[in-house]
């Protein structure tokens, strides 16, 4: 492996790590939990987060696809909306 390709691989791994860390830092949606079974909510939230993650391009795909993001790619705000919609579909009321 050449020195240049080692640096490129390290840079790619660093960017992927930062992308993953950014995703983990998202806050949970604000849900009205009055009268809600907390265990059921946590299960529903985990399932909705999994659905949202599975519809998102992987960090490497986004990086390798070029510097400019296409309009077809999802943004963080799209992810939040998708997560909130999933929770609403399961009967939860979201707070502002």
Q: Phi, psi at residue 79, to the nearest 5°?
A: -60, -45
Identify whether 95 is part of a domain: no
Q: Within the chain, which residues score under 50 in pLDDT?
A: 25, 68, 70-71
Identify whether 94 is part of a domain: no
Query: The domain containing residue 76 runs over which residues?
Result: 3-89
Overall number of domains in the chain = 1
Q: What is the CA radius of gyration of the chain?
A: 17
Q: What is the pLDDT of residue 84?
A: 95
Q: What is the pLDDT of residue 94?
A: 96
Q: What is the pLDDT of residue 11?
A: 61
Identify whether 77 is part of a domain: yes
Q: What is the pLDDT of residue 27?
A: 76
Identify whether 96 is part of a domain: no
Q: What is the pLDDT of residue 10?
A: 54
């Amino acid at each position: 492996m050449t020195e240049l390709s080692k640096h490129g691989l390290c840079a790619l791994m660093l960017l992927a790590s930062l992308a993953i860390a950014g995703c983990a830092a998202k806050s949970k949606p604000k849900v009205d939990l009055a009268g809600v079974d907390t265990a059921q909510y946590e299960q529903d939230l985990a399932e909705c987060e999994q659905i949202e993650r599975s519809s998102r391009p992987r960090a490497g795909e986004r990086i390798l696809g070029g510097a400019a993001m296409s309009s077809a790619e999802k943004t963080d705000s799209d992810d939040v909306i998708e997560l909130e919609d999933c929770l609403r579909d399961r009967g939860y009321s979201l707070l502002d």
